[in-house]
């Protein structure tokens, strides 16, 4: 019954390291979204899953970014060879899915990634 959870809440990485960010959506939510929020900006779309299928990854900024949701529940966003410009808050959101309609997205608290 809890909301969307994300871990870790804070991550500091040295440039060139790989990181993995985890998202636990609300139970029963079919749709899962990842967003990137730079300091002082609105969130920007990264990628979208419907169950385990990644239907849209058009927002991923480079091939260093990779997301998966193998069992249609928990999702992991992986960033390889981190760069300073990857520093941001990464938000996960989930929602129900109904054909032809749109349900509200519920957001997690985010993971603040700082790349030194």
Partner 1 sequence: AQTVTQSQPEMSVQEAETVTLSCTYDTSENNYYLFWYKQPPSRQMILVIRQEAYKQQNATENRFSVNFQKAAKSFSLKISDSQLGDTAMYFCAFMEVGYALNFGKGTSLLVTP
Site residues, partner 1 (CB under 8 A): 33, 35, 40-45, 48, 56, 59, 89, 91, 93, 100-102, 104-110, 112
Give the nearest distance from C-beta 47 to partner 1 in angstroms: 9
Cβ(81)–Cβ(18) below 8 Å = yes
Distance (Å, rounded) from C-alpha 115 to C-alpha 95?
A: 30
Minimum separation from the CB atom of position 81 to partner 1 (A)? 26
Is residue 82 classed as helix, strand or coil in its secondary structure? Answer: coil
Max CA pair span of the chain: 44
Q: How far is the CB of 74 from partner 1 (least distance, A)?
A: 19
CB of 16 to partner 1, least distance (A): 27
Q: What is the DSSP string of 1-59?
A: ----EEE-SEEEE-TT--EEEEEEPPTT--EEEEEEE-TTS--EEEEEEETTEEEE-TT
CB closer to partner 1, 84 vs 101: 101
The nearer residue to partner 1, 79 or 92, going by C-beta atoms, is 92
Residue closer to partner 1, measured from CB, 45 or 66: 45
């Amino acid at each position: 019954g809890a909301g969307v959870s994300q871990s870790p809440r804070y991550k500091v990485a040295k440039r060139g390291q790989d990181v993995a960010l985890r998202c636990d959506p609300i139970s029963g939510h079919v749709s899962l979204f990842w967003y990137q929020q730079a300091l002082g900006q609105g969130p920007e779309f990264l990628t979208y899953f419907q169950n385990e299928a990644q239907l849209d990854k058009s927002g991923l900024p480079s091939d260093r970014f990779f997301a998966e949701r193998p069992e249609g529940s928990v999702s992991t966003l992986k960033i390889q060879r981190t760069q300073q410009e990857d520093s941001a808050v990464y938000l996960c959101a989930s929602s129900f899915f109904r054909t032809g309609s749109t349900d509200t997205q519920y957001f997690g608290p985010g993971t603040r990634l700082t790349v030194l």
